[in-house]
Amino acid sequence: MHEEKSPRKIPFLQGFLCLLVVLLASFPSCSFAASRSSATKKKASASSVIFPVSGNVYPKGYYQVTVNIGQPPKPYFLDIDTGSDLTWLQCDAPCAKCTPAPHSPYKPNKNLVTCKDPLCVSLYWPTSHQCESLDQCDYQVEYADRGSSLGVLVQDLFPLRFTNGSISAPRLAFGCGYDQEIPGPNPPYTDGVLGLGTGKSSILSQLNGLGLTRNVIGHCLSVQGGGFLFFGDDLVPSSGIVWTSLSSNSLEKHYSVGPADLFFGGQASGVKGQSIVFDSGSTYNYFNSQAYNAVVSLLKKDINGRKQLQDAVDDKSLPICWKAPKPFKSILDVKSYFKPLALVFTSAKNVQFQLQPEAYLIVTKQGNACLGILNGTEVGIGKFNVIGDISLQDKLVIYDNEKQQIGWASANCNRLPKS
């Protein structure tokens, strides 16, 4: 991880009063009480919100939605991330280190969340945190790819159109990031991250707390690019979804399921009892060293036995690539060369997550097939196995925080729901 940075005092925040009800939960004596009564009125009319998605796994490496924030509302492109809680924007507070982005940095306006605010406290849970300044909530998020954002929590209006026809502009908390580290030669060309994890600071949790949506999200990411994201349960099918329970470990703020056994070509691989994390913020899959080494060994043994493919050592798109006698033209061309993988969940009957070859391989610009499964142990993920966008494509994936379960089904993600 990169060197720890010190939070700094945000100059525009000094001396604001409780009269500024722009803070959702800063002072129990005023704004928090007001927001609670608002939530009570809206509880009965919880609905859903649909966002069109753009992006792809290759070559972009991410999927994004457009979210309008502020008054007047301004559009921001946010990377969809079910692997983290906090939503943040690059922020002119002023900006110490911001990366190129589609829009100008967000400009805060005396709308800080305080250090003692419940949302601020939830960021650090289960550990306690020390307040360097009572009138602002400092945050620092770090990601497995060694990216990070440093900033403060603010609140602003999020205008949303719901599937029941209503329009609302709730005041929600998010990160105002003034110092970002984005690794790699091609960082996402977005304005920030839409954190959709299980923590209380996520936008979904806040909307649910106000009674505007159920605590459910779903996404459908098209292999051709695009798709849709939704908050709430209006679009959850009544049948056809395969469900498995979320991990009962309350300390985890990500969507973890398991245990699962790894199968290759319909046969047990010997890799058992694996913990799985669904993470739309990860382009590729990251398996722990045991699972990763097993997959690579099985693939190479199978490929060598047929002698149709050769290592494409000159293709640096991903660590392991193969070339055929003729270049692959599309991801569908790889199906005849590779066997499917599957994660079979042992705590439920007939529940498995299928990874067809097109769900763990990409076809590069050079026409080679590259393995979209990386060694997670090498990047510090530990025992977990992360399922990223490459294997979430062309599936309707539903994260139901109310029933504590995740579900999926094959789907046509090119078609937006009519509602």
Residues identified as active-site: 81, 279
Residue with tokens 């589609």: 102
Q: Pick from 354, 406, 409, 393: which is nearest to 239 by CA?
A: 409
The span from the CA of 104 to the CA of 167, in Å, is 26
Other C-beta atoms within 10 Å of 130: how many? 6
DSSP letter string, 168-202: E--EEEEEEEEEEE--SSS---SSEEEE-SSSTTS
Characterize the bridge pairing of strands 49-56 and 369-371: unpaired
The span from the CA of 241 to the CA of 390, in Å, is 20
The span from the CA of 265 to the CA of 272, in Å, is 16
Answer whether the bond into residue 28 is a cis peptide, omega within 30°.
no
DSSP letter string, 374-392: EETGGGT-TTEEEE-HHHH
The span from the CA of 80 to the CA of 67, in Å, is 11
The span from the CA of 253 to the CA of 245, in Å, is 15
Residues 361-364: contacts with CB under 8 Å, at least 24 apart: 361/331, 361/334, 362/57, 362/58, 362/317, 362/318, 362/331, 362/390, 363/58, 363/328, 363/329, 363/330, 363/331, 363/333, 363/334, 364/58, 364/315, 364/317, 364/321
Helix (H, G, I), strand (E, B) or coil at 229: strand
Query: How large is the C-alpha radius of gyration of the chain?
Result: 22
- The amino acid that residue 110 corresponds to is K
Name, in order, each residue with C-beta under 8 angstroms of 377's C-beta and a sequence gap of 6 or more. Answer: 288, 289, 292
The span from the CA of 139 to the CA of 253, in Å, is 16
The span from the CA of 183 to the CA of 148, in Å, is 9
